[in-house]
Chains A and B, each alone.
Chain A
């Protein structure tokens, strides 16, 4: 009997010990058993500590759901430092638009954009849209992206026409939305002009 008890104690050490706060939430708010995804921090915590997802103040600038109402980015030079902004999409807000102009003085110019968002919530998409409303390029998985850090990234690089007017569109893809239970996400968008 004592041996069986000792065996149970020894084998109990083989049960993974995962403390609340040790892991970021995975896709579809995945967390270890007995833990749940915190909406505010997308960290796996005790269910009693979970807070609901909410967009931080200043991360929503509506209306910006189309080319006409797109939020202007700063005035770029032909080769510019990246402009970085934090956004959020939840509820009925399924997309955010950001517009910018390309200086006419540039000889060759391109845009580089990177969208970073937690993989815990709905997957976001990134598109480059021309002045006519047509999609020119779509963001894809970034090179050298680590899948372990809890973030997903989409990158986009595209040659542009000097003097042109463009928009970057951030949209909810419908994927990874926890069957509708986590149809929201926050993101960081980085855009810069560069020599292609």
Chain B
């Protein structure tokens, strides 16, 4: 190794070691926690059950509306009031009640899922990394040198 090369290598070691020393500060960052599998299953179940109950509510709602439209009349129909009409009114009433119950249960379940989602929100942790002083190494090689360093946390 020539004298000039050695001089350059020494200069590099000096510069790098000063850089590592200047980075001797704590490193901190926010780390988001994760929900447990049980919690995720619970949330999914609540939401799924709420959606299903809401879907049933829609089904009964439409059934009630259909029966109501079939029997409802505001002008003279020319038809007699029959047992089939009575059955349609009963169907409309029955499906309306079912729809209301299903909407109520579905809404409660979805609301419960939202509340549970908020309540089980995992806390955010602050992770601090304290770097130790780095130790530069310089290994002469043929035609130059290898510059390295070791750090610990």
Interface residues of A (CB under 8 A from B): 3, 7-8, 10-11, 13-19, 21-27, 30-33, 43-44, 119-120, 147-150
Contacts of B80 in A (CB 8 A): 23-27, 119-120, 147-150
A63 CB → nearest B CB, Å: 33
Interface residues of B (CB under 8 A from A): 61, 64-65, 67-68, 71-83, 85-86, 88-89, 92-93, 95-96, 99-100, 103, 107
Nearest A residue to B111 via CB reads A3
**Among the listed B65, B78, B86, B96, which residue makes an inter-chain contact with A150, where contact means beta carbons less than 8 Å apart?**
B78
Task: Assess the A11–B61 pair: CB atoms within 8 A.
Answer: yes
The number of A-B residue pairs with CB atoms under 8 Å apart is 94
Task: Assess the A14–B65 pair: CB atoms within 8 A.
Answer: yes
Q: How far is the CA of A2 from the CA of B92 in the complex (A)?
A: 24
A133 CB → nearest B CB, Å: 36
Task: Assess the B64–A23 pair: CB atoms within 8 A.
Answer: no
A41 CB → nearest B CB, Å: 11
Contacts of B76 in A (CB 8 A): 21-22, 43
Q: How far is the CA of A161 from the CA of B78 in the complex (A)?
A: 41
**Among the listed A7, A30, A31, which residue makes an inter-chain contact with B103, where contact means beta carbons less than 8 Å apart?**
A7
Contacts of B83 in A (CB 8 A): 26, 30
Task: Assess the A24–B75 pair: CB atoms within 8 A.
Answer: no
Task: Assess the A148–B82 pair: CB atoms within 8 A.
Answer: yes
| 11 A-B interface contacts by CB (under 8 A) | A7-B103, A13-B68, A16-B67, A21-B76, A23-B77, A23-B81, A25-B80, A26-B80, A32-B89, A149-B80, A150-B80
Contacts of A44 in B (CB 8 A): 81
Contacts of A7 in B (CB 8 A): 100, 103
Q: How far is the CA of A18 from the CA of B74 in the complex (A)?
A: 6
Q: How far is the CA of A26 from the CA of B86 in the complex (A)?
A: 11
